[in-house]
A and B are shown apart, each in its own frame.
Chain A
Amino acid sequence: MNRWINEPIFMDFLNIIRVAFRALQRNKMRAALTMLGIIIGVSAVVAMVSIGQGAQAAVQAQIDSIGTNLLFVSAGAQNVGGVRSGTGDSGTNTLTVEDLDAIKREVPSVAMVTPSVTTRGQLVAGNANWNTQIQGVSEQFPDIRKWVVGSGEFFSDSDVRTAARVLVIGQTIADNLFAGGDPVGQEIRVQNLPFRVVGVMARKGQDQQGRDQDDIAFTPYSTVQNKITGSQRVQVAFVSAVSSDATYTAQDQITELLRQRHKLGTNEPNDFTVRNMSDIAEAANETNSTMTLLLACIAGVSLLVGGIGIMNIMLVSVTERTREIGIRMAIGARSSAVRSQFLIESVVLSLMGGVIGILLGVAVSLAIPKMLGWPTLISTMAIIGSAVFSAMVGIFFGYYPARKAAALDPIEALRYE
């Protein structure tokens, strides 16, 4: 009937924790080194997950800023005959301005369309020159890509119709060619043809991959086709659906329309690709998730190694303290009380390591954006997960030594030298 009295849970719990702390204090250096494994493991998990989540959040933010109702239509198709795997690659001539006009005209869920024909060219203004990307688009480009004009204005639909020699330049070009002066109204020569600068785009900064998004010049696509490259090819088109919800409908309708226009039979594959931002976001997130998982797994291995370190030290500790265990048993400690004592010691060890590791991991996560410029997002799940996991490591790797201690025979243990 008195069984429960001796049950360790009924012993003053704080006292057990205190006893565990005291035992660890006796070997501060050893406890610290043992914890180091867990500290490194947990902080690595927290930091890695923070980096992964930060990257994911940045991609998401970028995608949100582009707009979730955006669709990409590109010439060529992925995996056609296993050869042409890219999109809009050279030699693919399957997307025309007429196709795009038809999309704008006939697909009700589509709001705006702009082709995008890209080339590189040398821009010359006075005695300054700058090599950059020249992107031929329609007047709806700023609305579709949600990119506003900083000064001056974007070119108009009549400029597109007449293939006018007008340029809207990015901030980087403005800085490099006009060095502080107002570029609007100035002349830039492209392949010896004079172009008039009508506007400068608002600064956009670097993208996810660190590329300068402001190093670009826009001109009507008709101008690129007729005056610069002489090619009627359209590589890519940006299409915006009337709403985010309409993107999938728009995707289907565009696909149907283009198959009709390209006279493709039911068994023939698409010779074009329509993608929406959600797909791209998903792909990006998937890559990031895989990376995060991989990094977390590597970090998890160090947690495991830390756990083995704890087991090793606890085994040493049980042997060293055989006599103490004998004394405790002789004066009335049940096996379960001895087992709890050692188990709690190992859990205290691993949990302390876990808490220190979390603090360190959070500190690293906060330092990384400042030192490396990578975005991080501290994950509550990772923190809770590591705390729980480190406690589990303590229980799992502490159980065997604790059981060994509890199984000691008090007579033998008391005789142990």
Chain B
Amino acid sequence: MQAVQEIRRATPAVVDAMQIPDARPVIELEHIHKTYTMGDVQVHALRGVSLTIREGEFVAIMGASGSGKSTTMNILGCLDRPTKGSYILDGQDVSEMSKDERADIRSRKIGFVFQGFNLLSRTSALENVELPMLYAGVSSAERHARAMESLSAVGLAGREQSHPNQLSGGQQQRVAVARALVNNPALILADEPTGNLDSRTSVEVMEIFQRLNRERGITLILVTHEADIAQYAQRIVVFKDGKIRKDYQVEHQRNAAEELRSLPPIEEDEDEEEE
């Protein structure tokens, strides 16, 4: 915390970049430890991680494999529990929660975007997006309306009935973003969302993330090992050996929308290939 405040004071440009400088924290990790037992060996995946992420922030988490970033991601996403330490998500202590309670928290507060898209196959885009609401107990009519709206927010209006195998990788990832978005979560966790995408499609996905972050004030956490992708975030947290090594504001945040405009127009192939 102290360090962040200092950075803010030192670099006024960064303060400008943050829309709500004193927004309330969405994530408060304090002295998080995670230890796995593999046979007789104790693996210390996290060794005292403290991190605060405020509402409306767009944070990239970086680190080599084995650095603890995936473990952090699992804990942030309430898929796993810390061995030690406290995790307060949106004002609620989730570090001691049961499996079911964590399922409820995931349902209401967290949207996931994965590297492998993880859409249900042979299920339409619309139904994929409706799925989180099914588990949150949203009525059928509202599910439909919200899924339609969410899909059009990621630019997929008209493709609601398409199945994942009829969509390009970029489109599939956009369906996944729509799904993550649909329950109005406190935070969207994207785990290597561009890992399976070409560079242009990656920029397109980042454009959607930046737009959602800017226009809706959605808190975003992007886990990536690509330094250039991390530059689309406002803040970068670097993990190494189970600890936070660096935590800094991005000085020159990349603007995906502008980059897209400067890119040459694509030959209308990708979106229409199956028609």
Contacts and interface: CB of A to CB of B under 8 A. Distances in A.
Interface in A1-48: 2-3, 5-6, 10-12, 15, 22, 26
B100 interface: yes
A360 B37 CA distance: 56
Interface string A330-341: 111111110000
A1 B80 CA distance: 22
B100 A331 contact: no
A401 B103 CA distance: 21
Contacts of B136: 5-6, 332
Nearest to B101: A3
Contact of A411 (B79, B107, B135, B140): B79
Interface in B81-113: 99-101, 103-104, 106-108, 112
Nearest to A25: B122
B103 A334 contact: yes
B61 to A, nearest CB: 17
Interface residues on B, range: 20 to 34
A15 B143 CA distance: 12
A405 to B, nearest CB: 14
Contacts of B108: 2, 332
A136 interface: no
B120 A327 contact: yes
A192 B118 CA distance: 100
Contacts of B120: 324, 327
A328 interface: yes
Interface string B176-205: 000100010000000000000000000000
Interface in A323-382: 323-324, 326-337
B50 interface: no
A63 interface: no
A328 B131 contact: yes
A414 interface: yes
A414 B118 CA distance: 8
A329 B141 CA distance: 23
B100 A411 contact: no
B100 to A, nearest CB: 5
Nearest to A410: B79
Contacts of A323: 118
A222 B120 CA distance: 92
Given A12-B140, A323-B118, A333 B103 contact: yes
A331 B80 contact: no
Given A6-B135, A12-B140, A411-B79, A329 B118 contact: no
A332 B74 contact: no
A44 B163 CA distance: 41
Interface in A370-417: 410-411, 414
A34 B140 CA distance: 31
Nearest to A329: B103
B103 A327 contact: no
B106 A330 contact: yes
15 contacts: A3-B101, A6-B100, A6-B103, A10-B137, A11-B134, A327-B120, A328-B135, A332-B106, A333-B135, A335-B99, A336-B100, A337-B135, A411-B79, A414-B114, A414-B118
The 10 closest A-B pairs by CB, nearest first: A332-B107, A5-B137, A332-B135, A334-B103, A331-B132, A332-B106, A333-B135, A327-B118, A334-B100, A411-B79
Interface of B: 74, 77, 79-80, 99-101, 103-104, 106-108, 112, 114, 118-120, 122-123, 131-132, 134-137, 139-140, 179, 183
